[in-house]
Amino acid sequence: MTDRETVFEIHRMHLEGMSNRRIARNLKLNRKTVARYLQDPHPSAVRSKRPSKLDPFKEQIDALLEKDPSVSAVVVKQKLEESGFVGGVTIVKDYLKRVRKKPAKRAFLRFESAPGQQMQLDWGHFGALSYDGTRRKLYGLVFVEGYSRMLYVEFFHSQKQESLHRGIVNAFRFFGGSPKELVVDNMAAAVVERCGSLIRFNDAFLDFLLPFKTTPVACNVRSPQEKGKVESAVKYVRRNFMPLRDFVDLADVQRQAMHWLETTANRRTHQGTGKRPCDRFRDVRLTALPEPPPEARETLTLTVHNDFAVRFDGNAYTVPPWAVGKQVALKADSRTASIYLNEKRIAVHERSYKRKERIETPHHREQVRKMNRKLWRDKDIAVFASLGPEAVSYLQAMIEAKLPIKKNVAKLLSLKDEYGASPVLFAVRKAAGKNALGADYIENILRQEMKPKRHHLPVKLKDKNLNRIRLKQPSLSEYDAWALKIKKDEK
């Protein structure tokens, strides 16, 4: 096709009186081309339509679409191949796009709510944050007050029930009260079951909302226009807040988000209302919040392990060592993990989003050291340790294995009374070689390989405390030292 500059030259030369032949010679064109452009400066390009491999099968495709308007291009191609079609799936897809009947767009009435009548909320996915190689998905829970378009967003690493509840509490605090209605989609944390207009809300969600005196409203399935304000708000957060920002952790994301809400989001002129959300929000009157608000932290019942720690979200959090073996309650929000025993808080830690971390309070480790020092001063433990280095090593191994030391030592001393010190030390050596820790292993070895010595019942005294007196194993080396000293003095 001739370019527009050449067409312009054809007409200019013609106005100067040149013949078609001369114009054609000067511009190196065909005379018929010159005549055509002089007659019509904008001729439509006539292209010969090439036959398509699909032409013989179009009636068959139309018949297939009559049976199933949503049939895929792959299935249509398979059906055509049975009739001899040898083309690819791309031309089938292109043809289906042209001939499918597009659903007519529905018109929706714009819904405006009265001040304080309604808030809408929805989740948005905003990529992930990295914590030393551990990647955590980043979700934003976005709230919009319907009348003013006042916006709030809170970020989480999960969409759990507790995250939803915590986000609602913090949003209501941000707005200064609760609305009459809270519009949600059909998220599992809010809606358990839906059948047409019949909705069964999550029991935990209803119990949580009850003190706020707000009514949940669930949108119809595939009806995003029913919460269009928050749908637009999620897009606005994604396009206006997220780009060109760097985040250290979840707390940093929230700090930047709060600054953005204060300086940008709620101070811009809203396209829908023509006013700033912060100005229109002055007309909003919300229901006062209950004090205290409902519990919104993630709560778990956990067992304290022998390393005086509980396991939560891939990490270990320490507690005082005296709580080993006990059932405790861990309550976590986005920043802290608090641990309770019988409703009394015994530990609080900054929450970590890394993996396989041990979050330890130095005081807890010091308590372990103090308990160990106190343990070694116990009379029965001192008596058993006096049997020699092998007994001390076995005691240390049982302590490190977090076995109940006093109970085991009491039984070991009873076995010493029954079998004697040497057989017990023999059993200790054999058990230690197989890493078999505990008085039960020692008793089993003694019963299999030793005989109890003749047992002479001790004299029973009236004072029971005197009956429980035990003496340390005497050290013969000390007696030898005294004997040598006496001989030297005599000389």
The pLDDT > 90 percentage for the chain reads 46
Which of residues 5 and 173 earns the better pLDDT score?
173
Q: What is the pLDDT of residue 195?
A: 73
Examine the pLDDT at 168 and tell me if it is beyond 60. Answer: yes
Q: What is the pLDDT of residue 116?
A: 93
Tell me which residue has tokens 């976590």: 332
| Tokens representing residue 201 in the block | 């809300």
* Cβ neighbours around 13 below 10 Å, total: 19
Examine the pLDDT at 135 and tell me if it is beyond 60. Answer: yes
Contact 195, 183 (CB under 8 A): no
**What are residue 181's DSSP bridge partners?**
118, 215
* Cβ neighbours around 25 below 10 Å, total: 13
Q: What is the pLDDT of residue 198?
A: 77
- The per-residue pLDDT for range 343-372, each reduced to its tens digit, is 999 999 999 999 999 999 999 988 888 777
Q: What is the pLDDT of residue 39?
A: 84
**Confidence at 376, pLDDT banded by 50, 70, 90:** confident
**Confidence at 110, pLDDT banded by 50, 70, 90:** low
- The per-residue pLDDT for range 285-294, each reduced to its tens digit, is 999 999 988 9
| Tokens representing residue 457 in the block | 């019942």
Q: What is the pLDDT of residue 191?
A: 86
| Tokens representing residue 385 in the block | 């340790």
- Helical packing angle, 439-449 and 421-433, nearest 10°: 110
Which of residues 55 and 176 earns the better pLDDT score?
176
What average pLDDT is seen over the chain?
Answer: 86
**Confidence at 374, pLDDT banded by 50, 70, 90:** confident
- The per-residue pLDDT for range 386-400, each reduced to its tens digit, is 888 888 889 888 887
Question: Across residues 433-444, what is the average pLDDT?
Answer: 91
* Cβ neighbours around 175 below 10 Å, total: 20
Task: Determine the Cα angle at 138 with ends 136 and 142, to 5°.
Answer: 160
- The per-residue pLDDT for range 18-74, each reduced to its tens digit, is 899 988 888 888 888 888 888 887 776 555 567 788 888 888 888 888 888 888 888
The pLDDT > 70 percentage for the chain reads 86
Which of residues 489 and 69 earns the better pLDDT score?
69
Q: What is the pLDDT of residue 109?
A: 47
The sheet with strand 315-318 has its strands ordered as 309-312, 315-318, 358-359
Show me where the domains of the chain are located.
4-39, 55-98, 118-283, 298-368, 378-467
Q: What is the pLDDT of residue 224?
A: 56
- The per-residue pLDDT for range 440-483, each reduced to its tens digit, is 999 999 988 877 665 555 667 767 666 666 655 555 555 555 55
Question: Across residues 227-232, what is the average pLDDT?
Answer: 88
Contact 164, 189 (CB under 8 A): yes
Q: What is the pLDDT of residue 488?
A: 64
Q: What is the pLDDT of residue 336?
A: 96
Q: What is the pLDDT of residue 255?
A: 97
Q: What is the pLDDT of residue 334?
A: 93
Instruction: Give CA torsion, residues 43, 45, 48, 53, to 10 deg.
Output: -150
- The per-residue pLDDT for range 406-430, each reduced to its tens digit, is 899 899 988 988 888 889 999 999 9
Question: Across residues 227-248, what is the average pLDDT?
Answer: 92
- The per-residue pLDDT for range 323-345, each reduced to its tens digit, is 888 999 999 999 999 999 999 99
3-state secondary structure the chain: CCCHHHHHHHHHHHHCCCCHHHHHHHHCCCHHHHHHHHHCCCCCCCCCCCCCCCHHHHHHHHHHHHHCCCCCHHHHHHHHHCCCCCCCHHHHHHHHHHHCCCCCCCCCCCCCCCCCCEEEEEEEEEEEEEECCEEEEEEEEEEEECCCCCEEEEEECCCCHHHHHHHHHHHHHHHCCECCEEEECCCCCCEEEEECCEEEECHHHHHHHHHHCCEEEECCCCCHHHHHHHHHHHHHHHHHHCCCCCCCCHHHHHHHHHHHHHHHHCCCCCCCCCCCHHHHHHHCCCECCCCCCCCCCEEEEEECCCCCEEEECCEEEECCHHHCCCEEEEEECCCEEEEEECCEEEEEEECCCCCCCEECCHHHHHHHHHHHHHHHCCHHHHHHHCCCHHHHHHHHHHHHCCCCHHHHHHHHHHHHHHHCHHHHHHHHHHHHHCCCCCHHHHHHHHHHHCCCCCCCCCCCCCCHHHHCCCCCCCCHHHHHHHHHHHHHHHC
Contact 35, 20 (CB under 8 A): yes
* Cβ neighbours around 436 below 10 Å, total: 14
Which of residues 261 and 113 earns the better pLDDT score?
261
User: What type of residue sits at position 348?
Assistant: V
Backbone φ, ψ for residue 357 (5° rounding): -95, 150
Residue 306 CA to residue 148 CA, distance in Å, equals 55
The CATH T-level fold of domain 118-283 is Nucleotidyltransferase; domain 5 (3.30.420)
Q: What is the pLDDT of residue 477?
A: 56
Contact 338, 348 (CB under 8 A): yes
